[in-house]
Structure 1
């Protein structure tokens, strides 16, 4: 889930992209609102408080998925300095995983600091391809073999979780960086059975997994640039987030959830 929650993360490339699932994963079209707070479990030496919200919406359009994500976070440093981060992220992704249209706008205290827009194509799911940016400037970026787009990654992640796989790694391109596909490593914890105590009735009969996804600069080694922890239900809904920005970390809690109509019917 940009900031991307980074809605993305990725998978063990060509082999994984070609691996059949024992049972098809069906992602639920939905709208989810998350309350964001400073993560108390993580030391945040320079940050006194952080509060905000994220709205995430995904809809199955039969031949494609559309995603909208809006994110706002107010941060106060221990020195008393305060600022507001915000982002608006929109994508259209073909179901076969070969086309992605994207637009990202980020701002600090109301001043736009980054705008990225364009379209990416692959010669096949998990294949090579390119991204053609129209903003901040017109240019083309090569995408390496194994690249996956965000929603295809979510499907592959849940398929891997169902198989009992524990680690996935591959490049992912989601349109949030001018540097191209980011290398990722995903760790999947054991399956959690359906829990009648879950706060939303639509999720109480659904199994879930906790995953942690680390994002690295292309070809990078060492420490990740960003990490996110998510509890994913097997229908693609997330209800617990941990977003580690390295300097500080934010916890996200599902505050509102609504199923949306989608699919080919």
Structure 2
């Protein structure tokens, strides 16, 4: 994911909030032995606009539009993340580049097991890209090896201090609440072309409930609560050393409940904004 120095449009094809981040984004208060019991991350379904931000330099793109639908659902033993992105990139010569991405994953509550699948479609005649695989590690953040069923036989080495999509959100929030200003760790969701990347994040400030850009009362506390402003950069790693130039950078409003409300992704002269449009709670599991 986010290959270094690829053309911005190709980077956009694979950018997602891990939650953020997808987030991004998308997206834990304490790193306790039972994350499901310890965090206040909420099950939800959200829809985001994709909007153009500032454009600078000699990039061949004139704008972007689209929608991202993302659900994050707690189960009795982990989390299910599902995402559907439809994106249209406008070129300066009047063309349109279309992409559609579907992604699903299941992540164990303790961060030791992970399954993922993704399909990337293009209307330009390119062959669909399909990814499917799994990962098991001894403990959350431990190194290991991801094994792919699609493409068959592909294996990716996972370095120590690598976190999965939900674990990334927990770790960021835990660092913010502990008063840390900067946090660095590797991230992996299975869609990376070259394996995990190093994410270096600076927690730039706290915002109160009701503060932020473009808030809507219809979101309720789920989308208007307090949270943190985070600036992050992603770096490819060669061996154990990260590259000096980031693959891409973003700023994010990350709520205390794990919802990434807004992300601005700088892809090198081309900024894509992912802004919350609507959000709804999903039922929490009855695990007995």
* TM-score, normalized by the shorter chain, greater than 0.5: yes
Q: Please, which of 275, 279, 282 is the counterpart of residue 253 of structure 1?
A: 275
Residue 256 of structure 2 is matched in structure 1 by 234
Residue 105 of structure 1 is matched in structure 2 by 119
Residue 216 of structure 1 is matched in structure 2 by 235
Counterpart CA distance in 1 for 2:131 and 2:268 is 23
Residue 203 of structure 2 is matched in structure 1 by 188
Counterpart CA distance in 2 for 1:68 and 1:135 is 18
The alpha carbon displacement at 1:131 in A equals 0.3
5 Å-filtered alignment, 1:141-180, equals 141-180=156-195
Q: Please, which of 219, 222, 226 is the counterpart of residue 207 of structure 1?
A: 226
* Deviations 1:96-129, CA, capped at 9 Å, x for gaps: 0011101111122264442211001111111111
Q: Please, which of 76, 96, 108 is the counterpart of residue 62 of structure 1?
A: 76
The alpha carbon displacement at 1:243 in A equals 2.2
Residue 5 of structure 1 is matched in structure 2 by 17
The alpha carbon displacement at 1:239 in A equals 1.5
Counterpart CA distance in 2 for 1:163 and 1:256 is 30
Unmatched runs of 5 consecutive residues or more in structure 1: 11-15
Residue 124 of structure 1 is matched in structure 2 by 139
Unmatched runs of 5 consecutive residues or more in structure 2: 1-13, 25-29
2:108 equivalent to 1:87: no
Q: Secondary structure of the residue that 1:223 maps to in structure 2?
A: coil
Residue 10 of structure 2 is matched in structure 1 by none
Q: Secondary structure of the residue that 2:85 maps to in structure 1?
A: strand
Residue 9 of structure 2 is matched in structure 1 by none
Counterpart CA distance in 2 for 1:203 and 1:17 is 23
Q: Structure 1 residues 46, 204: CA separation in 2 closer, same or farther (over 3 Å shift)?
A: closer
Counterpart CA distance in 2 for 1:107 and 1:235 is 32
Contact map agreement 1:6 1:228 (CA 8 A) in 2: no
TM-score, L = length of structure 1: 0.87
The alpha carbon displacement at 1:218 in A equals 2.2
Q: Secondary structure of the residue that 1:175 maps to in structure 2?
A: coil
> Which has the larger displacement, 214-223 or 233-242?
214-223
Moved over 3 A (4+): 16-21, 110-113
Contact map agreement 2:34 2:109 (CA 8 A) in 1: no
Contact map agreement 1:99 1:122 (CA 8 A) in 2: yes
* Deviations 1:157-202, CA, capped at 9 Å, x for gaps: 1111111211111111111114221111111111111117831212
TM-score, L = length of structure 2: 0.81
Contact map agreement 1:60 1:262 (CA 8 A) in 2: yes
